[in-house]
Amino acid sequence: MTGDPKHLPLDDIHRESGAKFGDFAGWSMPLTYPAGVMKEHLHTRAHAGLFDISHMKLFVVSGIGAAAMLSKACPIDAAALPLRQSKLSFFLDDAAGILDDLIVTRLGDDRFMVVANAGNADADEALMRSVARHYNCLIEPLDRVFLALQGPEAAAALEEAGIDLDGLVFMNGLEPKPNWFMSRSGYTGEDGFEIGLPEGDARDLVKKLTADERVMWVGLAARDSLRLEAGLCLHGNDIDPTTDPSGAALIWAIPKDLREMGAFNGAGSLRAILADGAKQKRVGLKPKGRQPVRGGAPLVDEDGNTVGRVTSGGFGPSVGHPVAMGYVATALAKPGAGKLFAEVRGQRIPVDVHPLPFTPHRYVKG
Amino acid sequence: MATTYYTEDHEWLSVEGDVAIVGITDYAQEQLGDLVFVELPEVGRVVKKGETAVVVESVKAASDVYAPADGEIVAANDAVVSDPSLVNSAATGNGWLWKMKLADEGQLTGLMDEAGYKALVG
């Protein structure tokens, strides 16, 4: 990433709210607000946290070839998605390495929304445009403010702000009015919503929401600790082109018939990986004691042999202990399969493979 | 009467005779955010100026705290190990990190006083 970071459209509101900023994926992002990461995290789990995630990119994919294009670019059957249904998927390279993860939502017969990660948005757009040369469809990057409201009181706070939830359940999305996109989804493990909308509308909505005492601004630092407790992957850390959906324990996102017969990018390599069995698997890791174990730390066995690596780690404010994720040799990838240690500053910290998520998901399902 | 000095690495030293109590400044704890883990030096360890004496970990990241002068660790504040948030709530008081016997008090002359430190952090 070169040059000055981009500023969010609501940058002024974050400054007035006392945010501390840091650069992430080419954007100057609010990391924390005056409440601090711990309170912001706990508030989200107890009430409702408001996140500005406008660094993420929304694309409308439309036209009679839209479903076919998406089904080539990603391991999904876009034509079979029910209206309003959102689905986690991936852009894979020829070796089935994960170029990005994304959420695809069906908005109409020939109309889909794609939500992609900030750092990969340009590459994702180029990839879709390249695939789209063979299909009759239009790819339209949207200029939107993108807000997430997450937590057990998110639904009530949105309704109070005049938003009709329209019967949305977890992993449902729709266009409630022109130039708006709203889905019941998120990155915290809590019930919640993500809303893409024009800047003027966003300023009105933020004003209403922040006047509600249930709602608190939450920065990127707590977004990271929330998603880590929820066992959700961050592209660039836990998944990247050197990992594949099988090793990443995300194969559930790919329908069974597609794994066997799909013609999506990377299908052949993924079939070979599934036939051989992944060498390493992504797991939750619970370090013993209080010391956090961070991404990048090697994982070793009792004899000091490297058997994996930590990809994300920190402290889990809701669980009250350090939490981490990483990859270990498949034979060790279940609780109690063998002793594991993370190497931190020359010390070996015992870690246990721990089921994910660390905090139970509380999605509102249909 | 103790004299307080400050370093460019955002530490404070409260010096009385040849013994210094060391901690991080309020500015530093605010920049680090909520601390969740503190690794203190062992009593008796001899440290050189600039060497990592303590590691503090926030929710998000680990940071080193450097020895501001040469000397020997004579005490470590176990209270911040059991409750790292003390460093956030009382950085310049009960959230002190260690006590050291200075090997060379002459090293203090390069440090800042409170006015100098305030000018540094604005």
Instruction: Please report the ipTM that was assigned to this predicted complex.
Output: 0.86
Helix A37-46 and helix A220-229, axial crossing angle in degrees, nearest 10 = 50
Residue A255 predicted with pLDDT over 90: yes
Chain B interface, mutation test: which of A21, A29, A32, most B Cβ atoms within 10 Å? A32
Q: How confident is the model at residue A321 (pLDDT cuts 50, 70, 90)?
A: very high
Pick from B36, B39, B55: which is nearest to A315 by CB? B36
Q: Evaluate whether A75 touches A97 at the Cβ level (below 8 Å).
A: no
Of B33, B37, B62, the CB nearest to A32: B33
Contact A163, A181 (CB under 8 A): no
User: Residue A3 pLDDT > 80, yes or no?
Assistant: no
Structure-token pair, residue A45: 């789990």
Q: Contact A294/B37, CB-based, under 8 Å?
A: no
> For residue A2, what pLDDT is reported?
59
Contacts of A314 in chain B (CB under 8 A): 59-60
Query: Do the chains contact at A221 and B55, CB–CB below 8 Å?
Result: no
Instruction: Enumerate residues 6+ apart whose C-beta is below 8 A from B74.
Output: B19, B43, B99, B100, B101
Write the pLDDT tens digit of every residue in A49-77. 999 999 999 999 999 999 999 999 999 99
With the C-alpha atoms ordered A45, A47, A51, A57, is the resulting torsion angle positive or negative?
positive
* B59–A38 C-beta distance less than 8 A: yes
Which chain A positions have a beta carbon within 8 Å of B37's beta carbon?
Answer: 290-292, 315, 322
Does the beta-carbon distance from A292 to B36 stay under 8 Å?
yes
Q: Are A87 and A103 in contact (CB under 8 A)?
A: yes
Q: In this complex, which of A36, A291, A322 lies closest to B33 when CB atoms are compared?
A: A36
Strands A27-32 and A57-62: unpaired
Q: What is the pLDDT of residue B122?
A: 83
**DSSP track, A168-233:** --TTBEE-SSTT-EEES--SSSSSEEEEEE-HHHHHHHHHHHHTSTTEEE--HHHHHHHHHHTT--
Q: How far apart are CA A190 and CA A357, in angstroms?
A: 12
Does the pLDDT at position A1 exceed 80?
A: no
Instruction: Note the pLDDT of residue B60.
Output: 80
Residue in B with minimal Cα distance to A312: B60
CB distance B62–A314 less than 8 Å? no
**What does the pLDDT read at residue B61?**
87
pTM: 0.95
Sketch out chain A's domains with CATH numbers: 6-54+144-229 (3.30.1360.120), 279-366 (2.40.30.110)
* Nearest chain A alpha carbon to B59: A315
Tokens standing for residue A214: 């249930």
Whole-number Å distance between alpha carbons of A134 and A242? 28
| Domains in chain B, CATH or no CATH each | 3-111 (2.40.50.100)
| B59 compared with A161, residue with greater pLDDT | A161
A114, A110, A146: which is closest to A127 by C-alpha? A114
Tens digits of residue pLDDT in A76-105: 999 999 999 999 999 999 999 999 999 999
Residue whose C-alpha is closest to residue A342's, from A294, A274, A284, A303: A294
N- to C-terminal Cα distance for chain A?
A: 41
What DSSP letter does each residue of B46-105 carry, written as one string? EE-TTSEEEEEEESS-EEEEE-SSSEEEEEE-HHHHH-THHHHH-TTTTT--EEEEES-G
- C-alpha–C-alpha distance, residues A52 and A197, integer Å: 12
Cite the DSSP H helix spans in A212-365: 220-229, 256-261, 267-276
Residue to substitute from A24, A228, A291, A358, interface B, most B β-carbons within 10 A:
A291
**Mean local confidence (pLDDT), A230-240:** 98
Q: What strands lie across the sheet with A6-7, from one edge to the other? A: A6-7, A27-32, A20-24
Asked if residue A32 lies in contact with residue A219, where contact means CB atoms within 8 angstroms, the answer is yes
* Contact between residue A1 and residue A26 where contact means Cβ atoms under 8 Å apart: yes
Once rounded to an integer, what is the mean pLDDT over residues A215-230?
98
Mean pLDDT of chain A, nearest integer: 97
For chain A, the residues whose C-beta falls within 8 A of a C-beta of chain B are 32, 36-38, 41, 221-222, 224-225, 290-292, 294, 314-315, 317, 322, 345
Residue A314 burial (CB < 10 Å; 0-12/13-18/19+)? buried
> Nearest Cβ partner of B59 from A290, A315, A345?
A315
**In chain A, % of residues over pLDDT 90:** 97
What are A15-56's pLDDT values in tens digits? 999 999 999 999 999 999 999 999 999 999 999 999 999 999
Nearest alpha-carbon partner for A186 in A50, A315, A11, A32 = A50
Q: Is the pLDDT of residue B37 over 90?
A: yes
Q: Using the predicted structure, report yes or no on whether residue A318 has a pLDDT greater than 70.
A: yes
Inter-chain residue contact B57 with A36, CB threshold 8 Å: no
Q: Which of A223, A201, A193 is nearest to A19 (CA)?
A: A223
Chain A: give the shortest CA distance to residue B96, in Å. 19
Is A314 close to B60, i.e. CB distance below 8 A?
Answer: yes
- Which of A32, A37, A292 is the closest to B37 by Cβ? A292
Length of chain B: 122
- Residue B119, amino acid: A
Of the candidates B33, B36, B39, the beta carbon closest to that of A221 is on: B33
Average pLDDT of the segment spanning B12-27: 97
For A74, A167, A172, A253, the CA distances from B35, given in Å and listed in that order, are 41, 41, 38, 36
Q: State the average pLDDT over residues A262-278.
A: 97
CA distances to A57, A145, A211, B105 from A196, rounded to whole Å, are 10, 6, 20, 60
Q: Mean of the pLDDT values across residues B110-122? A: 94
Residue A105 pLDDT: 98
